[in-house]
Structure 1
Amino acid sequence: MSPARDSITEGGLARPLFTLAWPIVVTELLQVAYNVADTLWLGQLSAAAVAAMSIAFPLIFLFLSIGGGFTVAGSILVAQYTGADSDDDAGKIAGQTLSFITLLAVAIAVVGYLATGPLLALIPTDPETAVDVVPLAEEYMRVFFLGTPFMFGFFVFSALMRGYGDTRTPMRVMFLSVALNVALDPVFIFGFEANPLFGVLGLAGVEAALFEATGFAGMGVAGAALATLLSRLVAMGVGFYLILATGAGPAVSLGHLRPDLDAIRKIVRIGVPSALEQSTSALAMITLTVMVATFPTATVAAYGLGNRLVSLVFLPAMGLGRATDTMVGQNLGAGKDGRAERAVHLAAGTGAGVMLVVAGLAFVAAEPVVNVFIGERTPEALRTIDLGAEYLRIRTVEFAFIGVLQVLLGAYRGAGKTRTALAFSMVALWLGRVPTVYYLAFVADMGATGIWIGMALGNVVGAVAAGAWFLRGTWKQRVVDVDVPSRPEAVGDGED
């Protein structure tokens, strides 16, 4: 085993945890940059365009979550086989995950494209939202689903590399993809007529010449989806090339891509609870969106924008959670249960501390940050800014709990306890969040403020429940059958 990977199972804990986590944070930051770029440019188009993203995203996430659960299974199995020094098994699982999820992604793309109209028709909306927002959401979703296989392609590449212990390579590929998306977004959204980017750059003459030559006036929200589609295609192509042709990551051969029913059953057994976890999260988001859609456009836009911003500050916790996934997986694979547990304690404490700092910054800067994303100054736009700032401030209450919960969920997944992670995700969403939002917004008649408060309570409830279960210590059991040589934990295997 190479020294870089050996550090995950040997020596101090802080350095490998940080080494794994920071590229994940950057990669997820770049992932959010896709959405932020879309939101920023669509905000210059109209508040209705931003609201369309609020409607579309939970439905899209429902479909993406199905395949996402199986990438988690691949990551877990690769991590444990790598920790057990079984490189051939790690390569085989990686190959099976690649081929299985590629086929699954094509099926999801077809179903998602065909189901877009019927799904949007099921959402009860305010009359204003139905006329101004829903048609735009449908435009965005139909184009987006065409690129679903490309998105899954990068997700599975990133997950397999993470399980192997390499989080920097996916970060570099993601940077390339985001740079392309940022460049394409304004062109596809606005075309070469009244494009705000050309105005900012003082290139009105160039814009006029391009419009005269092409006649391209932009595609609006569909253009944002097309920019993402093309950017994901590039990321998938580079990722597949690296893992199949250069020897980066698990050693995958062409033979490993041929379907193996035993390997697929193992992926499905571990992946189904993760897919259900992500699907129930998506269903919770859809349920919340249905409730929010009964409010005027300003509230819908503030909700969508606020969620995008919260997803941004959520990144340190997510990075630590996914790093914990790999740390726990490889150490359990190596037979080092105590080291795996100490890694979780270190990550949870770090996550809570970092998220407290982020909460303070977000509370102070809420209104200026929200203001950046709304280009109009109509009464509706100003109302969106006020509501979005209020939402962000209220959500800061949960930030430290997010840090703890994400680390604990990462620990359960790394151990292969995907059903346990599913259970506590459901506690956070379906006990702590959805019913609270409904009660406060509609029964207690608190309106938008009730939505904001209910959203903040979910992770608090989930973190407390997951922490109490973790202390029982019953989660430390690997899911791969490999004979591991006796490798006692060194005295120095601490938190330095």
Structure 2
Amino acid sequence: MPSQTSPATPTFSGIWSIIKRSIRGEDIDLTHGSLRTAIILLAIPMMLEMAMESVFALVDLYFVGHLEHSSYAIQTVGLTESVLAVLYSLAIGLSMATTAVVARRIGEKKPIDASRAGGQAIFVALILNSIVSIFGIIYAKEILLLMGASEESARHGERFTQIMMGSSVFIMLLFLINGIFRGAGNAAIAMKSLVVANAINIILCPLLINGIGPVEGLGLTGAAIATSIGRGTGVIYQLYHLSNGKHIIRIYLKYLKPRWYEIIALCKIAGPAVLQFVIASCSWIFLAQLVAVTGADEGSAGYQTALRLMMFFMLPAWGLSNAAATLVGQNLGAGLLERAEKAVFKTARYNALYMLIVTAISFACADLLVSFFSNDQEVRKVAKEAIYIMSTAYVLYGIGMVLINAFNGAGDTQTPTWINLVGFWLLQIPLAHILARHFEMGPTGVFMAIPIAESCITVAGIILFRKGNWKSVKV
């Protein structure tokens, strides 16, 4: 049997060689060799990919936070991102299902079947997104008002929300196609697509928001246009690599023609995966609305600032946990159950270490981090309080992410769905409501409910993972 761990401590040159391989990108067989090496090869580009995804919101937040009426602008960006979280749920859920199927087929040495599965997933994504986009364009202002924005904030932010919702197909495809590449073990392509998208966004944001020379800036609307163009460019980069024949996955146009038995099989996995993320996203939407109502515009802007900073640190952890999904999928496909389980435990340890470092940074640098995104002292005060409270359970967040992705990578999307349903809707939402309103703690009560619920979710994940039912799921 091939060795599953490194026989010796790696040298600096050996580690540097692995890092260069991970950034360069290659199709990797993850069913043999060192697990540590496999995790590093996957984790580095996956963490950078997720960090790049969070940069979109932070770049927008930075530039609009220095506009006139910045509290309106920050609130609009934050509330729109909260609404888009539902779309992210669709994209991530479908992406996770696609990763599971593609990884399983790659583990079974069936690259053509893996490519067909990817094509069917793209077809489903395009159909779903068309519905969401039309709804978002028509009801943009009503969505902001429903989320708790004031009439003035909704008026300022309507065009921003329309553009973001109308161009959401790029969000959907970025997540989905990256899921295809991750399932095949080539995480570097996924990372590079986000680097391209962010580079365009960072260049265009200040130009379109503030203007240049005699050209007047578009303000908040400019932020939406810059982000949409950036993401669209990233999708073009992805499509090039899907079709150029240089990778193990190659998708032809004919693979997008619907094959209903494959779509049904994919949707059986994707359905619970989408639902688990919708459950979580709707919980975050409720919390955002509760903070907006109990904390006014400044409280809402402070919470949204803290949330964007939290996601900046959390998304790389989610990227690292994606390594577990790919490793589980490919090794289950190859029949290596013990190796799949060891990969999860090892990835969880790495993620816990990363989140421990993030916790220290959050406590030490909260004031500095918040100061980059708002000049309003009241907004900063709320944001710092939120960061201090939410970061208390970051280590448990990190472990929980790995377990959730391990279930999803195995194709067992129902278990994390039930965990999320109980943890978010039966614990986090009621607890936040009780603390914020009954005990009159306002936004502070909402902040406290988050680490309590997330910790309970992680404990439930550990218990159910150890039962081992995920090992027998058929994909």
Aligned to 1:437: 432
Distance verdict in 2 for CA 1:6–1:141, change over 3 Å = closer
Counterpart contact for 2:76–2:144, Cα < 8 Å: no
Aligned to 1:403: 398
Aligned to 2:53: 31
Cα distance in structure 1, aligned partners of 2:171 and 2:319 = 19
TM-superposed CA distance for 1:37, in Å, is: 0.3
Structure 2 SS opposite 1:303: helix
Aligned to 1:494: none
Aligned to 2:357: 357
Aligned to 1:191: 211
Aligned to 1:88: 112
| Equivalence map 1:150-165=2 (5 Å) | 150-165=170-185
TM-superposed CA distance for 1:10, in Å, is: 0.4
Counterpart contact for 2:91–2:171, Cα < 8 Å: no
Counterpart contact for 1:431–1:458, Cα < 8 Å: no
Measured against aligned partners, the alpha-carbon deviations of 1:164-216 in whole angstroms (never above 9, x if no partner) come to: 00000121121111011001111111223xxxxxxxxxxxxxx2xxx1xxxx3
Distance verdict in 2 for CA 1:161–1:412, change over 3 Å = same
Aligned to 1:368: 368
Aligned to 1:492: none
Counterpart contact for 1:160–1:249, Cα < 8 Å: no
Counterpart contact for 1:427–1:461, Cα < 8 Å: no
Aligned to 1:237: 236
Aligned to 2:324: 324
Say if 2:109 is the partner of 1:109. Answer: no
Provide the identity percentage. Answer: 27
Distance verdict in 2 for CA 1:4–1:339, change over 3 Å = farther
Distance verdict in 2 for CA 1:22–1:432, change over 3 Å = farther
Cα distance in structure 2, aligned partners of 1:89 and 1:447 = 52
Say if 2:338 is the partner of 1:314. Answer: no
| Equivalence map 1:331-346=2 (5 Å) | 331-346=331-346
Counterpart contact for 1:316–1:354, Cα < 8 Å: no
Structure 2 SS opposite 1:259: coil
Distance verdict in 2 for CA 1:230–1:6, change over 3 Å = closer
Q: Which of 10, 18, 21 lines up with 2:40 in the alignment?
A: 18
TM-superposed CA distance for 1:70, in Å, is: 1.6
Residue identity matched to 1:13: L
Say if 2:442 is the partner of 1:422. Answer: no
TM-superposed CA distance for 1:478, in Å, is: 4.2
Distance verdict in 2 for CA 1:475–1:59, change over 3 Å = same
Counterpart contact for 1:71–1:160, Cα < 8 Å: yes
Residue identity matched to 2:52: L
Counterpart contact for 2:27–2:247, Cα < 8 Å: no
Cα distance in structure 2, aligned partners of 1:396 and 1:82 = 38
Aligned to 1:467: 462
Cα distance in structure 2, aligned partners of 1:449 and 1:72 = 33
Structure 2 SS opposite 1:10: coil
Distance verdict in 2 for CA 1:4–1:43, change over 3 Å = closer
Cα distance in structure 1, aligned partners of 2:248 and 2:417 = 28
TM-superposed CA distance for 1:399, in Å, is: 0.3
Measured against aligned partners, the alpha-carbon deviations of 1:141-160 in whole angstroms (never above 9, x if no partner) come to: 10112211222222221110
Aligned to 1:61: 85
Residue identity matched to 1:267: L
TM-superposed CA distance for 1:6, in Å, is: 5.3
Say if 2:191 is the partner of 1:171. Answer: yes
Aligned to 2:72: 48
Residue identity matched to 2:142: P
Aligned to 2:31: 9
Cα distance in structure 1, aligned partners of 2:217 and 2:245 = 39
Structure 2 SS opposite 1:386: helix
Q: CA RMSD in A?
A: 1.7
Cα distance in structure 1, aligned partners of 2:339 and 2:27 = 15
Cα distance in structure 1, aligned partners of 2:270 and 2:318 = 19
Which 4+ stretches in 1 moved above 4 angstroms?
A: 3-7
Counterpart contact for 2:129–2:168, Cα < 8 Å: yes
> Normalising by structure 2, what TM-score?
0.91
Q: Which shifted more, 167-176 or 448-457? A: 448-457
Counterpart contact for 1:71–1:156, Cα < 8 Å: yes
Structure 1 SS opposite 2:471: coil
Aligned to 2:253: 254
Structure 2 SS opposite 1:296: helix
Cα distance in structure 1, aligned partners of 2:142 and 2:380 = 32
TM-superposed CA distance for 1:274, in Å, is: 1.1
Structure 1 SS opposite 2:381: helix
Q: Which of 445, 448, 451 lines up with 2:443 in the alignment?
A: 448
Residue identity matched to 2:46: I
TM-superposed CA distance for 1:369, in Å, is: 0.9
Aligned residues: 448
Measured against aligned partners, the alpha-carbon deviations of 1:474-496 in whole angstroms (never above 9, x if no partner) come to: 1112423xxxxxxxxxxxxxxxx
